[in-house]
Amino acid sequence: MQRILVLNSKGGCGKTTLATNLASHFANQGKRVSLTDYDPQACSQYWLSIRPEDEAEIQSISAYKQSGMLTTRTFMLRAAPGTDINIIDAPAAPDGMQLEEMLRHTDRVIVPLISSPIDFQATLRFLKTQLLSKLKAKRIPLSVVINRVGVHRTSLEQLTSQLTELGVNISAVIPESYLYSEVYSQGRSVFDNKFSKETDLLHHWQPLIRWIDNTETKLNLSHTDWVTWDANNSDALPEAQVNYA
């Protein structure tokens, strides 16, 4: 079983969006998938609870609940036998013990990052002070996904160069799209049948999926036009600006 933790101490950066869509992607591939929700706001769990029965099945694990008198923590967190992929949706600002527990059950970490100055500063601080040394010690691979490109016009050039300096890989750039809230409210993902024609949208997930499948590790971000990308000009984005090495 491969276990993937979607993590950032910053709220609202897309952890649940990435976790639910990735879980559904792998489920649609015929894999046995479980989705663990560590966030007491339980947004992943809610999404699973409204997921239509005819969509690819995903097992729900509620890690935000305390284990009771009769259940051990290990029992609560267990995935069903035969599970291929366990996606873990982290809460914002996890405490030290929670972070340790999540990392104990993780093979890969994905950090979604919104390219606004505030989110960037918060994420850099989280990476430097809490995450990177732990991942290094445990030899857990890390990748950043830049999310909601188009809303914020921070210099991605600066952002990518600072991440590169830290030795952090960027595996995907996901543009802003109203469809992410639309699919969430239906208990679906952009990978479910109903949305499979949204190829422009799905295209941006491919390098992240390849990174998880371990067939690609590097995204070439040499095109930096997006620094001045105009959110109102949809022709400008990002297919031409994101080339994969």
Q: Which residues bind ligand ADP (CB under 6 A)?
A: 11-17, 43, 147-148, 174, 176-177, 180-181, 184
Stretch that binds Mg ion, among 10-18, 116-124, 141-149, 162-170 (CB under 5 A): 10-18
Decide if residue 16 touches Mg ion (CB under 5 A): yes
Query: Other CB atoms closer than 10 Å to residue 221's CB: what's the count?
Result: 22
Complex with ligand ADP: residue 14 or 238, whichever CB lies closer: 14
* Angle in degrees, CA 164, 168, 172, rounded to 5: 95
15 sits near Mg ion (criterion: CB under 5 A): yes
**Tokens 């505030």 sit on residue:** 118
Token pair recorded at residue 204: 């941006």
Q: Between 47 and 226, name the residue whose CB sits nearer to Mg ion.
A: 47
Least spacing, CB of residue 117 vs ligand ADP, in Å: 17
Q: Which does 164 bind (CB under 5 to 8 A by kind): ligand ADP, Mg ion, none?
A: none
CB of 141 to Mg ion, least distance (A): 22
Q: Least distance to Mg ion from the beta carbon of 1, Å?
A: 22
We find the least distance from the C-beta atom of residue 16 to Mg ion, in angstroms, to be: 3
CA distances from 87 to 19, 106, 163, 171 (A): 6, 9, 24, 17
The 3-state DSSP composition of the chain as helix, strand, coil percent (nearest 5) reads: 40, 20, 40
Torsion sign (Cα): 22, 26, 29, 32: negative
Specify the residue, 15 or 32, whose C-beta has the smaller distance to Mg ion: 15
Other Cβ atoms closer than 10 A to 106:
20
For 1-22, give the DSSP string: -EEEEE--SSTTSSHHHHHHHH
Interface pattern 27-56 for Mg ion (x via CB under 5 A): ----------------x-------------
Of the pair 11, 117, the CB lying nearest ligand ADP is at 11
Tell me the closest approach of the beta carbon of residue 38 to ligand ADP, in angstroms.
Answer: 11
Q: By CB under 5 A, tell whether 148 contacts Mg ion.
A: no
**Closer residue to ligand ADP in complex, CB, 37/55:** 37
86 binds Mg ion (CB under 5 A): no
CB 48 within 8 A of CB 41: no
Of 32 and 94, the one with the shorter C-beta distance to ligand ADP is 94
Whether residue 219 contacts residue 160, with contact meaning beta carbons closer than 8 Å, is answered with no
Give backbone dihedrals phi and psi of 141, rounded to 5 degrees, phi first: -70, 145
**Segment (H or E) for 157:** helix 156-165
Give the footprint of Mg ion on residues 117-136 (CB under 5 A).
Answer: none
What residue ranges bind Mg ion (CB under 5 A)?
Answer: 15-16, 43
